[in-house]
Amino acid sequence: MKNIGSVKEDLNTEKRISITPELVKKYINLGFVINLEKNYAEHLNINDEDYKKNGANIYSSKEEVFHKSDIILKVNFLTETESNLIKSKSIFIAQFDTNLNKNITSKASKQDINFFSLNLLPRITRAQSMDVLSSQANLAGYKAVLESFSKFEKVIPMMMTAAGTIPATKVLVIGAGVAGLQAIATAKRMGAIVFATDVRTASKEQVESLGGKFLMVEGHENLETEGGYAKETSEDFKKKQEDLLSDTLKKIDIVICTALIPGKKAPLIIKEKMIDNMQRGSLIYDLAAIQGGNSALTEIDKIVDRNGVKIIGDRNILNKLPISASNLYAKNLFNFVLNLYDKENKKININLEDEIIKKTLIK
């Protein structure tokens, strides 16, 4: 299995790529052959010559790439058409939700295809260089703050002028995972007063280390899984959290929502009545939009105006940072392939005793 292929994503929904020109050389140095679809990264101002001079093969169609390749690397899952093109006994690696793609995985599994979802990587030290959720969430948290501030109609830091003082913007970050922590850090650097809330008690110290104020429900219960993710809350906790949020939101200017539960619908945290009590001119940026949203009024790829409060829900915020996101994603993928590669025997080895391989393999 020495032929690695990658094809263009649907540019209407995804602008990231899985292989950058500089990584072609690294793959080739390991003994792999790289096959790419024509105009693979043209939308990022990277032309085919950049790939060719590093040793990649360029083919005019998806069909040729799939036919020539034993390992397929993508950002998103196979489309229905692509699932009919992938070869038997090949390997497919991407970032995808297994629950949303069961029909294709079950059909293709009959052809003995090994699917690896990078969304299932275990939270262990050895997997950090492959952790696409963290690398992409980090960028998402940063960009969410910039997008929010660009649409907010007041200055962010406190300004003392001869004409009077303008108070600093108050920002609330819901969810203090990787995206949330980066949002806190970015908003703080730009002069905002930052508050944050999360169901995991361990987040308090991290939030405060970045200069944010952690909002904690009285009688707080730790809702963190062994893998470091958030889990669902009890009804009693939800009620206490709702009361705290209702009071807080009345004086908040910008809310950044980042709360997600892996493989499930995003938790509904900001109810309609809470939004109705927010100040006119305030703004909610919902990073959880594609999974249902943390806000009751979030609509994908729309800006909803509710009595002067704007609710923004981009489908894929990483499309606004596609070059940076691609560079990190492609490196994560390379490190994952490297972990599959047996250097001594110079071949791919699906070693199920390796926790990383075992946890990410779909069968």
Domain extent listing, the chain: 3-120+322-362, 137-319
**pLDDT at position 299:** 97
Q: How far is CA 139 from the centre of its chain?
A: 8
Structure-block tokens of residue 9: 């994503």
Looking at every residue in the chain, the average pLDDT score rounds to 92
Could you check whether 3-120+322-362 and 137-319 share the same CATH topology?
yes
- Reply yes or no on domain 3-120+322-362 having CATH 3.40.350.10: no
- Would you give the end-to-end CA distance of the chain in angstroms? 19
> What is the rounded CA–CA span in Å between residue 133 and residue 329?
9
Determine the Cα–Cα distance for residues 171 and 152; give it in Å rounded to an integer: 11
Sequential pLDDT tens for the chain (363 residues): 699 999 999 999 999 999 999 999 999 999 999 999 999 999 999 999 999 999 999 999 999 999 999 999 999 999 989 999 999 999 999 999 877 666 666 665 667 899 999 999 998 999 999 999 999 999 999 999 999 999 999 999 999 999 999 999 999 999 999 999 999 999 999 999 999 999 888 899 999 999 999 998 765 555 555 555 555 666 777 778 888 999 999 999 999 999 988 778 899 999 999 999 999 999 999 999 999 999 999 999 999 999 999 999 999 999 999 999 999 999 999 999 999 998 888 889 999 999 999 999 987
Q: Report which residue type is found at 169.
A: T
User: In angstroms, rounded to a whole number, what is the distance separating the alpha carbons of residues 180 and 198?
Assistant: 9
Predicted TM-score of the model (pTM): 0.89
Residues 6 or more apart whose CB falls under 8 angstroms from that of 235 comprise: none
Kindly indicate whether the domain formed by 137-319 is annotated with CATH number 3.40.190.10.
Answer: no
Cα separation, 257 vs 284, whole angstroms = 7
DSSP lists the bridge partners of residue 58 as 36
CA trace torsion 84, 23, 54, 32 (10° rounding): -60
The pair phi, psi for residue 295, each rounded to 5°, is -110, 145
pLDDT of residue 210: 97
The set of catalytic residues is 123, 128, 131, 134, 229
Q: How many CB atoms lie within 10 A of CB 163?
A: 7
Measured distance CA(65)–CA(48) in Å, rounded: 14
